[in-house]
Amino acid sequence: MNNQNNSHNNKSKRQPNADSPLANNTKTKSDPKSKSVRPTTAREVALEVLTAVEEEGSYSNLVLNQMLNRIRLERADIGLATELVYGTISRLNTIDYFLGQFVAKGLNKLQPWVRNLLRFSFYQIYYLDRIPAHAAVNEAVNIAKRRGHQGISGMVNGVLRNVIRRREELVIPQDLPPAKRIALQHSFPEWMVARWIKQYDEATAEQICISNNEAPSVSIRVNTHRTSRTAMLELLQGEGYDVEISPLSPDGILVHGGGNMALTSWYQDGLISVQDESSMLVAEAVQAKSGMNVLDCCAAPGGKSVHLAEKMNNSGHIIANDIHEHKRQLVDDQAERLQLSIIETTVGDALTLTERYPAESFDRILLDAPCSGLGVIRRKPDLKWNKSMADIKEIVQLQQQLLQNISTLLKPDGIMVYSTCTIERSENEAIVESFLHQNKQFELVPFAPVNTNHAQTGIQILPQDFHSDGFYIAVLRKISM
């Protein structure tokens, strides 16, 4: 994901904002009196993950994967643990708003593990239909007994049973100011909602929030160097998969209820990759052809680099650069799996690419820029609680520098694509418009594979448009003088 490609944009360890619900807002960082209990159930795994995210600033997906690899759970329990972790983080703002009404001394006074136990139990009672409320309470009380003491289990029991009794009363007041109402209704930071209202409008901002709380769809990209989309579609249908062609990408297939496609033999054999539909549009925009010299500036984990190689029919040369040495292997592994040999991986700061390659040496350049990532909150709900307005301001400066710097490497009549996985106009349209204003030798190339009207310059896909990731793409040509 491009928001994690560059160390300029990422700290070595996630640090939640002080005002974020994910921040450790208790005076007691750990509870010396809590019993050490090895997780054995889905709910105990969820509790461990949520508490680690809050106390240590860990990434939820990484901690969850580590836990699931260490503890053998049945498939259904893996699904439940995943649902409880991501669902609770997605709805954190709203959960805390309601739960706060039931905890006499306030949520912030509770030990972190108790707070998270109440949070994901509330999530089950309020948001999930398939789990009986009494079962959610009983499980929470049992965990509280094992980890704490009689007093804590009694409090947990009392709070949750009170939630069940007053379940119908728990509604967000509709007379609140729009940004506050939407933030509480759909569980987003108020500052983020306020920005989206200003940049789009109130209805669009609310739709962005609603869509970001939906489960992401599963889409695969067909390796057209090895097979065709039609052949792959027939293969999948023959095996009983519920599939349809992507309305966004000519290389994409949507898979409904198919599980993890990365575990299939088709993936292992290099016939498909797992990629979001919006992301697939980027290689389409680059318009790379066989034999060309192409630069992918911020390449890891390499999804777009290999897509470019597939579209070039594995003929030509692609420099796939990334700032992180440890991510080089990710790109190499993908290229090997897909049987693509034209990709050369390099490591270094993208700002130094002009020192490593001669001016005007590439036919095509892709700058999939480091960004705030606010278009992929559906896949990474932690993002909304860990970004701030200051983060956006900081990344904008880097994006401007990168675009200006890298543009000198493009040949006359060459094409450069600027893309991000964010819906922030300051990181998208504003960057490109400023660049075009300062660089008269570049022009915007029309690129409209989908019917969107959210941007005057380039295309802006919002999460609700096609239930794909929020993405921005602008195609620029260097005018031959």
Q: Which two tokens stand for residue 220?
A: 């695969």
Q: What is the model's pLDDT at position 73?
A: 87
Q: What are phi and psi of 10, to 5 degrees?
A: -130, 135
pLDDT band at 260 (very low <50, low <70, confident <90, very high): confident
User: In this predicted model, which residue has the larger pLDDT, 31 or 14?
Assistant: 31
Query: Which residues on adjacent β-strands are paired with residue 478?
Result: 442
pLDDT at 384 over 70: yes
Q: Strand (E) positions, 233-308?
A: 242-245, 252-256, 272-274, 293-296
Whole-prediction pTM value? 0.88
Q: Catalytic residue at 371?
A: no
Compute CA 432 distance to the chain's CA centroid, rounded to the nearest angstrom.
23
CA separation (Å) from 474 to 32, 336, 406, 424, 455?
A: 53, 30, 15, 14, 10
Q: What are the pLDDT digits (tens) for 166-211? A: 999 999 999 999 999 999 999 999 999 999 999 999 999 999 999 9
Q: What are the pLDDT digits (tens) for 69-112? A: 888 888 889 999 999 999 999 999 999 999 999 998 899 999 99
Q: What are the pLDDT digits (tens) for 243-255? A: 999 999 999 999 9
Ligand-binding annotation for 301, yes or no, is yes
Q: What is the model's pLDDT at position 12?
A: 33
Burial annotation 199-209 (CB, 10 A radius, 16+ → b, else e)? bbeeebbbbbb
Per-position DSSP letters for 319-374, written without gaps between them: EEEES-GGGHHHHHHHHHHTT---EEEEES-GGGHHHHS-TT-EEEEEEE-----T
Ligand-binding annotation for 238, yes or no, is no
Dihedral over alpha carbons 218, 224, 226, 229 (to 10 degrees) = 60
Place of tokens 């949750």: 160
pLDDT band at 451 (very low <50, low <70, confident <90, very high): confident
Rounded CA gap, 432 and 121, in Å? 46
Q: What is the model's pLDDT at position 37?
A: 66
Task: Give Cβ neighbours of residue 435 (< 8 Å, ≥ 6 apart).
Answer: 400, 403, 404, 407, 418, 442, 476
Q: Which two tokens stand for residue 201?
A: 């409008």
Q: What is the model's pLDDT at position 35?
A: 65
% residues pLDDT > 70 (the chain): 92
Choosing from 209, 297, 371, 421, which is the catalytic residue?
421
Question: Which helix or strand (DSSP H or E) is residue 445 part of?
Answer: strand 442-445
Q: What is the model's pLDDT at position 72?
A: 84
> Between vectors from CA 327 to CA 322 and to CA 330, what angle results, nearest 5°?
115
Q: What is the model's pLDDT at position 22?
A: 66
Q: What are the pLDDT digits (tens) for 123-178? A: 999 999 999 999 999 999 999 999 988 889 999 999 999 999 999 999 999 999 99
Q: Which pairing describes strands 293-296 and 272-274: parallel, antiparallel, or unpaired?
A: unpaired
- Residue 421 CB: number of other CB atoms within 10 A? 28
Ligand-binding annotation for 209, yes or no, is no
pLDDT band at 20 (very low <50, low <70, confident <90, very high): low
Ligand-binding annotation for 298, yes or no, is yes
Q: What is the model's pLDDT at position 453?
A: 73
Rg (CA), the chain: 24
Place of tokens 């990344």: 395
Ligand-binding annotation for 349, yes or no, is yes
pLDDT at 417 over 90: yes
Rounded CA gap, 406 and 171, in Å? 51
- What value does the mean pLDDT take over residues 296-315? 97
Q: What are phi and psi of 23, to 5 degrees?
A: -70, 150
Ligand-binding annotation for 303, yes or no, is yes
pLDDT band at 257 (very low <50, low <70, confident <90, very high): confident
Per-position DSSP letters for 187-222, written without gaps between them: T--HHHHHHHHHHS-HHHHHHHHHHHTSPPPEEEEE
Q: What is the model's pLDDT at position 23?
A: 60
